[in-house]
Amino acid sequence: MHDSFQACVDETTALLSKTSDPSLFNVILWNLVHKIIAPYVQRCTELENKLHEQENKCHEQENKLLAEGKKFQEKLLAEEKKFHELENKLHAEEKSGVEKVVGQLTDAVNKIPTTTVPVCIHHRGIDAPIRGSMSRAKAWMDAIKYPNSKADVSLPASRFISNSAAVSAMDRRQIEERLVEELGKHARPEEKDIDYEGVVDLFGQYFAALSSSALGDMHVLDTHRQRFLDDLAPDLVLQRSSKSSDKFNIAAVLDLKGIGDDGHAKLNTANNLGQILDYLTAIEYCQLGRTIFLGLLTNLRDAYLIRYQTNILKGRSRRTSGNQPYTSKLTQYRKVPLCDALRYLYEQLQDPAANPPQLPFSESAGELSYVVQRHSKSVVAVFNRQNAQIIVKASPEVQWNSGIQNEIICLKSLQGDSRPASIPKLIYSTYDMPGSAFVEFGISPPGRPLQLELFREASDFRTCLQDILVALKWVHDHGIVHRDVRGDNIIVFDGLDVGGHSSHISLTPEIKKRRLRAMLIDFDRATNLGISCHYEGGYICCPRDLLQQCTRENEDQQMVDIDEYEMPVEGSTPLANAMYIPEKRHDYLSFVLLVNTVIFPFTLQGYTYQLVEVPNSREQRRLLNLWGELESKEPWSSLVREAQNAQADVQVWSELLGLLVWL
């Protein structure tokens, strides 16, 4: 193309040199332009045609790829549909299989050994089997080896005394004979084939006939498919007062077993006996204050009776092992005919200590959820009231009403619009209700005991410690000293981000963000600031200077040990008779000890708190030595110094606690 262009130029130049007529110039130049443009137009047309050809090929390729992709997608969707159909089919088969055997599994799961591990609980006398890593059989074998436990004991002779002319010894023997004869007809090789409804009806007739005499209202309930006893389902329960399954009113448990194909299946296996022990310790946990627990293991012909008694030993005679005293007695009576076992069970249930303790709550409390603790002076439980859970505290006896009344007065004085969330909200009280036979009050919210395991991060723990400090400032600002600031009297709950904190207290950003909160409870030992009185606070919270004063006044007394000393009678020790003036610093010093024992729970492991008030006791010296160590070692010495100065600034405490909490 370049040569053709050059030839046109040369030809035009030659023509222009030969003519002198200007009119021919334009003709010659237009001819040049046409000769030059024509090839370029032709070339552009060729290129454009090629471009269209390429585009057509690309569109064809694209359409081909789209068609292949669509086919692949359709194939993928088809495969997914087949997979989902197969998955649904498997789920349907699995569901069908589960529904088919669920009844059998429900029966069997209550008979299979659940895994248990003996754990020492402070209110239990023996290592109660808590489900974990040890079988029921192993738990029973360990429990029956305790110093106060006995196996294969002869059943005491019947000492039936009728309180009603309607039920004589002759009448009862006739009832028993008829009952045993009828129950024998219900014995089966395997327990899953037993007619529970028929058995319950027969036992119901037996106990109904006797309930009018000494037992009061007694009901026999079939609970073998109801896991209402802390996820356990005893076969049958003898229940007092209520006709629906209620773990707080169980009087005794009955576990039914099969007689075997040959009619001689072993009844007293370690697993079967461990199952009864599992039930009894679960009842103990729900019925705090009760001391005798009864269980019957039977194949509807013969029976073994198991009796578990707590709190049997005191003072000098108490035997100890490690940190835990053996204060319970587990007795397994040897096999007897069922009628003899029932007779003895009836006689035992005439003892108030073998029956569910009466709970001293009024209808104002609501619906009982569970009992938290039961002491001689108070009972604490969680109730459902008006669609919310509350903590209710009541006096079990009239003689202790004044203590609950004083706590109600204290809580009323701490209420107000700016009440911090770490102070309980008083929901109701019967203190000023005319004619009320109960002295009780309800607070909210309920929570869990303060334990380090609750906190996943250091900031959570620090937030709760700040809550406690806010509560102490609020209490002190109202002229009150708590006198019992310790772990048992702090509960942790899920609260609002900032809800309830006093506006005049400076809070860290962490408190505003966290939802896990702490609340100070139990004001039964609280008193007025600055007024001389006897010390009636918690043992572990006793002011150090008061302990030292009692020690100096009794320097001649030799050190006593838990095994050599009877528990002191209330009001008989020098500490109980000493006068002192309650101060704010006493609560803050207790707070320092609280932090120490929560972070290092082994500090007071195996500690017998009651012996703190005994002059020169090991416990008293141990507490004084602990204070000496805290006072001399950082960072504890800084905390003790601020507590002695009754430091009320939460920010100051937060900075001091930062390193400890992080560690």
CATH number at 394 reads 3.30.200.20
Asked if residue 197 has pLDDT above 50, the reply is yes
Would you say 614 and 568 are in contact if contact means Cβ atoms under 8 Å apart?
yes
Residue type, 451: Q
d(CA 121, CA 135): 18
Instruction: Give the model confidence (pLDDT) of 86-101 as tens digits.
Output: 877 877 777 666 555 5
Residue 421's pLDDT band, with cuts at 50, 70 and 90, is: very high
Across 368-377, 497-506, 593-602, which has the greatest mean pLDDT?
Answer: 593-602
Residue 288 sits in the same domain as residue 436: no
Residues 6+ positions from 435 with CB-CB distance below 8 Å? none
Residue 262's pLDDT band, with cuts at 50, 70 and 90, is: confident
- The pLDDT score that the predictor gives to residue 572 is 56
- The pLDDT score that the predictor gives to residue 321 is 33
Residue 203 sits in the same domain as residue 306: yes
The alpha carbon of residue 403 and the mean position of all alpha carbons in its chain are separated, in whole angstroms, by 28
Total count of domains within the chain: 4
Asked if residue 216 has pLDDT above 70, the reply is no
As a dihedral over the C-alpha atoms of residue 145, residue 149, residue 151, residue 157, rounded to 10 degrees, the angle is: 170
Report helix, strand or coil for 145.
coil
Asked if residue 355 has pLDDT above 60, the reply is yes
- The pLDDT score that the predictor gives to residue 426 is 96
Residue 459 sits in the same domain as residue 601: yes
Across 152-156, 260-264, 551-555, which has the greatest mean pLDDT?
Answer: 152-156
Question: Which position has the higher pLDDT, 151 or 76?
Answer: 151
Ranges 131-135, 238-242, 420-424, 584-588: which has the least confidence? 131-135
Residue 208's pLDDT band, with cuts at 50, 70 and 90, is: confident
- The pLDDT score that the predictor gives to residue 519 is 96
Asked if residue 202 has pLDDT above 70, the reply is yes
% pLDDT > 70, the chain: 77
Peptide bond into 445 cis (omega under 30): yes
Last residue of a domain, one of 402, 417, 446: 446
- The pLDDT score that the predictor gives to residue 91 is 72
Ranges 59-73, 78-92, 125-139, 467-481: which has the least confidence? 125-139
Asked if residue 618 has pLDDT above 90, the reply is no
What is the rounded average pLDDT of the residues 611-619? 79
d(CA 292, CA 266): 27
Residue 133's pLDDT band, with cuts at 50, 70 and 90, is: very low
Last residue of a domain, one of 446, 462, 479: 446
Question: Which position has the higher pLDDT, 154 or 4?
Answer: 154
- The pLDDT score that the predictor gives to residue 564 is 47
Asked if residue 176 has pLDDT above 60, the reply is yes
Residue 349 sits in the same domain as residue 363: no
Question: Which position has the higher pLDDT, 347 or 438?
Answer: 347
Question: Which position has the higher pLDDT, 164 or 8?
Answer: 8
- The pLDDT score that the predictor gives to residue 269 is 94
What is the rounded average pLDDT of the residues 411-431? 93
% pLDDT > 90, the chain: 34
Last residue of a domain, one of 354, 371, 392: 354
Ranges 56-60, 422-426, 480-484, 502-506: which has the least confidence? 502-506
Residues 6+ positions from 644 with CB-CB distance below 8 Å? 585, 588, 589
Residue 617 sits in the same domain as residue 534: yes
Q: Is 237 exposed, middle or buried (0-12, 13-18, 19+ CB in 10 A)?
A: buried
The answer to whether the pTM exceeds 0.85 is: no
Mean pLDDT of all residues belonging to the chain: 80
Across 169-183, 365-379, 509-523, which has the greatest mean pLDDT?
Answer: 365-379
- The pLDDT score that the predictor gives to residue 82 is 83
Would you say 140 and 274 are in contact if contact means Cβ atoms under 8 Å apart?
yes
Asked if residue 575 has pLDDT above 90, the reply is no
Peptide bond into 635 cis (omega under 30): yes
Rg (CA), the chain: 42
Residue 148 sits in the same domain as residue 293: yes
Asked if residue 76 has pLDDT above 50, the reply is yes
Residue 610 sits in the same domain as residue 475: yes
- The pLDDT score that the predictor gives to residue 114 is 40
Report helix, strand or coil for 547.
helix
What is the rounded average pLDDT of the residues 640-658? 89
Residue 267's pLDDT band, with cuts at 50, 70 and 90, is: very high
What is the rounded average pLDDT of the residues 172-193? 85
Residue 496 sits in the same domain as residue 585: yes
The alpha carbon of residue 539 and the mean position of all alpha carbons in its chain are separated, in whole angstroms, by 26
Residue 277 sits in the same domain as residue 145: yes
φ, ψ of residue 101 to 5 degrees: the values are -110, 5
Structure tokens at 495: 């609260």
- The pLDDT score that the predictor gives to residue 419 is 94
Across 229-243, 462-476, 500-514, which has the greatest mean pLDDT?
Answer: 462-476
Ranges 149-153, 469-473, 504-508: which has the least confidence? 504-508
Question: Which position has the higher pLDDT, 548 or 139?
Answer: 139
d(CA 88, CA 91): 5
What is the rounded average pLDDT of the residues 625-651? 91
- CATH number where 641 lies: 1.10.510
- The pLDDT score that the predictor gives to residue 467 is 94
Residue 193 sits in the same domain as residue 79: no
Residue 522 sits in the same domain as residue 435: no
Would you say 419 and 438 are in contact if contact means Cβ atoms under 8 Å apart?
no
Question: Which position has the higher pLDDT, 512 or 281?
Answer: 281
Question: Which position has the higher pLDDT, 221 or 175?
Answer: 221
Range of the domain at 574: 453-663
Ranges 18-32, 80-94, 141-155, 607-621: which has the least confidence? 18-32
Question: Which position has the higher pLDDT, 243 or 409?
Answer: 409
Residue 239 sits in the same domain as residue 100: no
- The pLDDT score that the predictor gives to residue 131 is 47
Report helix, strand or coil for 455.
coil
